[in-house]
Structure 1
Amino acid sequence: MRFVTYASPAGDDRVGLVDGEDVHGLEPGTTLLDLLDADGLQEAGERATASPSETVALDGLTLRAPLQPRSIRDCTGFLQHLRNCQGAADIPVDERNEQFPAFYFSNVAAVVGPHDDVPISPGCERFDYELEVCAVIGKPGSTIALDRAEEHIAGYMLLCDWSARDLQMNEMALRLGPAKGKDGANTLGPMLVTPDEIDPYRSRNAFDLGMTGYVNGELVSEGRWDSIDWGFPDMITYTSRGTHLRPGDVIGSGTVPSGCLFEHFAMRPDEFRGWLQPGDEVRLVIEQLGEIRHRVVAGVKAEPLSSGY
């Protein structure tokens, strides 16, 4: 099943089941997070098919983020991405990345829809996208065993972790991890795709599905999901150690190799196309999960701080 959240012609936002070129809407007032809390995706899909509140054409719908997550943990699943970036970031790839899938918490208040304009972060001159996939937790759990981890996944979505590279590098020199460099926007969408839809593409510890990124129609990023080193079962087992994962929590894969401008800047600086600018269009695609498309716009001016100490 494929679920979207969309702007209904009736004037509210609704959850709907994608059926070919149509969307079968559920009753007003129900969110995807409500359905995950009730462990009700299967029943909701059947209800939407049998007695939809409305049926509308998918083409032309204004899509929202499928859900507003309770948390976002973004992991480093693709180690080649780190290797590709290490020179320009002046951060050698630590061998501990091969011992566990490191992650950071991102900003749930910064989630945007799959076609929303994305403003450049205040004070940023090196704005970038990151092409990722994410898993959405549907079954709560704590200290989850590796062989049971996939049972906790309600579905998958495309994730774009928008990044202010100059701010990020300045912050990470303090060894506190990314903060304002990753605080501006996180795209989720365009739909939540349940695991059964992509199970036929299972390969290695992931799925044999292509991931591509375009800037102004130019192919910039091209990779495959099954090149990942740490699959989602490992990420779920690690992130759930000694704590609780809840329905609606999002686990990000990290960037697929070649899946951001920073990698190209690091590996081929003489050929670098430049950072994102107002007016640029970014289109990211993952086979079977759909695509997102954004226009980059100017951001607000950074407010000055006090003179300091």
Structure 2
Amino acid sequence: MRIARWTQGAARADGFVIDDAVVPFPDGLTVAEVLARGLADARDLHERALAAEGTPLAEVTLVSPVSPASVRDFVAFEEHVEGVSAGVEGKSDVPPEWHQAPTFYFTNPHTVHGTGHELRPPVTDRLDFELELAAVIGAAPGVGESNLTAGEAKAVIFGYTIMNDWSARDLQAREMKVRLGPAKGKDFGTVLGPWIVTADELEQHLDEDGFLRVRAEVRVNSALVGEDLVSNMGWPFPELVAYASRNSRVVPGDVLGSGTVGNGGCLGELWGRNQSLTPPPLREGDVVTMSIEGIGEISNRVGAAVPAPALPPARPRPRDRRR
């Protein structure tokens, strides 16, 4: 099953993509409500939707298939860490801590867009993309939200979507020197889409260790820049979800990105390996297209940068202890 959200003129709708058409959910349900009901209920809804008349995909505009409750973004590809660290530190370095647990950061759920949306980045000299696969969480009968086992975590993975974690590498580099972040180097834009493909549709691509052996590619202005297999992750998705739930919660509508695939999944990795800005950073007018086997394709154009109001630097202040 493919689940999407779309606009047609001033109207918005949520539903299924069936063949080359979109069909609204029965009973006026939303994606959020369907995720909260779980995959079994979604199958029943799909059976009911098959008899309904759809609208051709060409006549609607797809938006992000989910308004995330939260977005966690992992760094699960060792090859990506190797390449990026070469640019930051001058040599490839994968710290032992990377192997110990699947690290992630939280990004902004309020700047999530769909395929076709024109990105309006901040002022940056090093605009980059990041090609990722993301899991979308749904409900599962009898499964809680905290301290999940990998088996329980697999049950709450409703489906998968493509994720582009746009990055302003110069802004990000400043933030990381403060030993906190990333923040403004990342939170201006994330793309999810084109739709959610339910987890059962991708079962055929699982290898014997539970990794999704699907091909991921990214192109800039139609030229292939990066390609990898998602199965090159350090941890399969259920283990990422289980770790996210540790002493915390994962809830329907949460999105968990795999982190950037290796072998050119972002420009930052290639800059590190090449020890130069080759290929060049993204510029206005560039079109970034990502595809993942079994999911589909997203494509977004880079628009003009949006200047932000200036802020003064920190003021030196006396360290008084009393007033």
TM-score for the superposition, normalised by structure 1 = 0.94
Residue identity matched to 1:250: V
Matched, 1:166 2:159: no
> Which residue number in structure 1 is paired with residue 288 of structure 2?
282
Residue identity matched to 1:74: D
> Which residue number in structure 1 is paired with residue 44 of structure 2?
43
Q: State the 1:271 CA deviation.
A: 7.4
Matched, 1:223 2:228: yes
Residue identity matched to 1:30: L
SS in 2 for 1:213: strand
Matched, 1:145 2:149: yes
Matched, 1:3 2:3: yes
Matched, 1:238 2:243: yes
> Which residue number in structure 2 is paired with residue 194 of structure 1?
198
**Is 1:14–1:28's contact at 8 Å kept on the other side of the alignment?**
no
Where does the alignment leave 5 or more consecutive residues of structure 2 unmatched?
316-323
**Is 1:128–1:162's contact at 8 Å kept on the other side of the alignment?**
yes
> 1:10-49 maps to which residues of 2 (within 5 A)?
11-27=10-26, 29-39=28-38, 40-49=41-50
> Which residue number in structure 2 is paired with residue 105 of structure 1?
106
Matched, 1:84 2:83: yes
SS in 2 for 1:84: helix
Residue identity matched to 1:283: T
Q: State the 1:223 CA deviation.
A: 0.6
Q: State the 1:302 CA deviation.
A: 2.5
Where does the alignment leave 5 or more consecutive residues of structure 1 unmatched?
none
SS in 2 for 1:297: coil
What CA deviation, in whole Å up to 9, does each residue of 1:117-147 have, x standing for no partner? 01122x3110000000000110252100122
> 1:249-268 maps to which residues of 2 (within 5 A)?
249-257=254-262, 258-268=264-274
210-219 or 88-97: which moved more?
88-97
Residue identity matched to 1:131: L
Highest Rg: 1 or 2?
Answer: 2
Identity of aligned residues (%): 36
> Which residue number in structure 1 is paired with residue 318 of structure 2?
none
**Is 2:102–2:240's contact at 8 Å kept on the other side of the alignment?**
yes
**Is 1:112–1:186's contact at 8 Å kept on the other side of the alignment?**
yes
Q: State the 1:31 CA deviation.
A: 1.8
83-92 or 165-174: which moved more?
83-92
**Is 1:13–1:28's contact at 8 Å kept on the other side of the alignment?**
no
**Is 1:72–1:106's contact at 8 Å kept on the other side of the alignment?**
yes
SS in 1 for 2:185: helix
Q: State the 1:233 CA deviation.
A: 1.2
> Which residue number in structure 2 is paired with residue 302 of structure 1?
308
Alpha-carbon separation, structure 2, partners of 1:114 and 1:281: 11
What CA deviation, in whole Å up to 9, does each residue of 1:223-245 have, x standing for no partner? 11111111111111111011111
Over 3 Å counting, the alpha-carbon distance change for 1:170 and 1:307 in structure 2 is closer
Residue identity matched to 1:99: Q
TM-score for the superposition, normalised by structure 2 = 0.90
Aligned CA RMSD, in angstroms, stands at 1.7
Q: State the 1:28 CA deviation.
A: 7.8
What CA deviation, in whole Å up to 9, does each residue of 1:44-69 have, x standing for no partner? 2122213x3x4111234210100100
> Which residue number in structure 1 is paired with residue 116 of structure 2?
115
Q: Which has the higher strand share?
A: 1
Alpha-carbon separation, structure 2, partners of 1:7 and 1:49: 21
Residue identity matched to 1:188: L
**Is 1:137–1:249's contact at 8 Å kept on the other side of the alignment?**
yes
